Amino acid sequence: MLLVLIAGFIAAYGFRGCGAIKSAGKISSHGMARVPAATIPGGCGPFAVCELNELKAREVRTSEFFIDENPVTNREYGACVDQGACRDNRAGDCAVPDALGRPWPVSAGDAPAELFDDERPAVCVSWSMARDFCKESGKRLPGDAEWMAAAGAGKGFVFPGARLPQPGHEKWPAVAAGRFRLNGIANAGQPVCCGPDAGDGWALTSPAGRFPESDAETGLRDMAGNVWEWTADCAAPARDGKCAARVIKGGSWATSLYELRIRNKAGRDPALRSAEIGFRCALDALE
C-alpha cells in the first residue's frame, strides 16, 4: 500500500532534482530545446580558414535530442552541491585568464566574486564535475556533433546563432577580415587577439541568457561566447584507457571571434577547472 501511495505522489507531483524534473519514470525536457536530426557536412564548411582537425572531419549524422536552452548556472550547480551530489566549484584551484587571455591558476576562492553570481554560468568545473551534474539531473553531456547540430552546423552556419553574420551577409567581409565585433550579440574577447573585451558590456562572464536573440530559431542562448562548454567527446588519444583531452565548444568571454566558430574543436585536460569553461546538458529524445 505504501509503495502505491509513493508511486501516486511521484506521478502527480514529480521529483525535482538538480535542474531536471523526473516524472513517472521519465526526465522532463522543461527548459530544453528540441534539436531535430541533422547532417553535418565534413571538411571546413563555408569558412575559408580552419584547423587541420576540421579539414579532416567527415560527414556526421545526429539523431533528434534535447539540449539545455542556457548553460548551467551557479544557482543550479550550487543546488546540486548543497544536496551533496556535486563537488563544490568554489573550492580548489581554477584557471583565470589575465588581460592577455593567458590562464593563471588561482584558488577559486580568490577568483573574481562575480564569476559565482547565481545567474552566471557555472565555471571552475572539471569535465567530470560537469558530467556528474548532468548525470544527477538524469541527463548527459552532449557530443561534439550534437553540439554542432544544435548550433546550426547542418544549416550551413559558421557561427552559432542566426544573428551572427554568415557567408553572404553584408557584414561577412568584416568578419573574414577580423574587424567584426560582437557587441550586443555575444559575450566574447577581442575580435582577433587577445584577451577579454569589456566593450560588449561584460569584462568577465555575463548572466546566462543575457543575449536572448543569440539564436532566435532554436531558443538556445550563449552557444557563442560567454563560456566554453564541455562535451562528452575525447579530443586526444586515450592513455591507459583515459582520455587526455575533452572537446570544448563555443569560445568564451576571453577568446577571439575565430574561436567561436561552430566547427572549432578545441581540447582541454578533463581535470582542468577554468573560469572560461562551463557546460550545458543534453537528453535523448523522449519516446
pLDDT digits (tens, 9 = 90+) for 127-167: 999 999 999 999 999 999 999 999 988 887 888 875 666 67
- Note the pLDDT of residue 11: 35
- Model confidence band, residue 269 (pLDDT cutoffs 50, 70, 90): very high
SS3 at position 237: coil
Residue 1 within a domain: no
Query: CATH number of the domain that 178 lies in?
Result: 3.90.1580.10
Residue 272 within a domain: yes
- Note the pLDDT of residue 15: 32
Nearest CA to 97 among 276, 273, 226, 261? 276
Residue 130 within a domain: yes
Q: Does 263 have pLDDT greater than 60?
A: yes
- Residue pLDDT, tens place only, 212-256: 655 656 679 999 999 999 999 999 877 788 899 999 999 999 998
- Cα–Cα distance between 182 and 208 in angstroms, integer? 16
pTM of the model: 0.85
- Model confidence band, residue 47 (pLDDT cutoffs 50, 70, 90): low
Taking the CA of residue 32 as centre, how many other CA atoms within 13 Å lie in the half-sphere pointing to its CB?
A: 27
Residue 21 within a domain: no
Cell matching residue 144: 561534439
- Note the pLDDT of residue 237: 78
Nearby residues of 86 by Cβ (< 8 Å), 6 or more positions away: 18, 77, 80, 129, 132, 133, 136
Q: Does 48 have pLDDT greater than 80?
A: no
- Model confidence band, residue 3 (pLDDT cutoffs 50, 70, 90): very low
Q: Does 17 have pLDDT greater than 50?
A: no
Residue 24 within a domain: no
Residue 263 within a domain: yes
Highest mean pLDDT among 20-24, 50-54, 187-191, 245-249: 245-249
Count the neighbouring beta carbons within 10 Å of the beta carbon of residue 229. Answer: 25
State which residues form the domain around 127. Answer: 29-284
Distances (CA, A) of 7 to 2, 4, 65, 73, 215: 9, 5, 28, 31, 39
* Angle at the Cα of 128 from the Cα atoms of 125 and 130, rounded to 5 degrees: 50
In which residue are the cell numbers 521519465 written? 26
Query: What percent of the chain is predicted at pLDDT more than 90?
Result: 47
- Model confidence band, residue 182 (pLDDT cutoffs 50, 70, 90): low
Residue 112 within a domain: yes
- Residue pLDDT, tens place only, 89-134: 999 999 999 877 788 888 888 899 999 999 999 999 999 999 999 9
Averaged confidence pLDDT in the chain:
82
Number of domains into which the chain is organized: 1
Average pLDDT over residues 201-206: 90
Residue 17 within a domain: no
Average pLDDT over residues 69-86: 97
